[in-house]
Amino acid sequence: MSCGKALASLVRSGTVVALEGTLGAGKSTLARGLLQALGVTGPITSPTYTLVNEYEIKLPATADKLTAYHVDLYRLQRPQEFELAGADEILYGEGVAVIEWSERAATLLPNDAIRVRIALRDDNTRLITATQD
């Protein structure tokens, strides 16, 4: 089972999935797999320049229609930039947020965010750990 599909089974209304890892670790690939597992059928691109892409999804467990926010904070200099872009609605609303480079706004994330760390190993494999406080 792919990591994205496994994560999708944990997602509920209001879930924040915070992705962390170095450049090239696979954050965008994992985000794409998660969003596909949540029902996004069109192209899914990382919002590196736009900051946020929005998709309509249906949660597998309930079939509720929600907005999924795909956020890329790579270009952020300060967490306040994310606040100005609507972080409260994205992080604390009814939708689902998938955030690449989440460590750049760690102070804004809800305590119950699912934190996914992707580490690239020397043998070109990845170690993926997920925690939720």
Cα R_g (the chain), whole angstroms: 14
Q: Determine what percent of the chain is predicted with pLDDT higher than 90.
A: 59
Contact 46, 70 (CB under 8 A): yes
pLDDT for 120 equals: 86
pLDDT for 6 equals: 87
In the chain, where the domains are located: 3-132
pLDDT for 1 equals: 44
Architecture of domain 3-132: 3-Layer(aba) Sandwich (3.40)
Place of tokens 């480079």: 101
Per-residue pLDDT tens for 33-85? 999 999 998 899 889 888 999 999 987 667 778 999 999 999 998 999 999 98
* DSSP H/E element including 34: helix 27-37
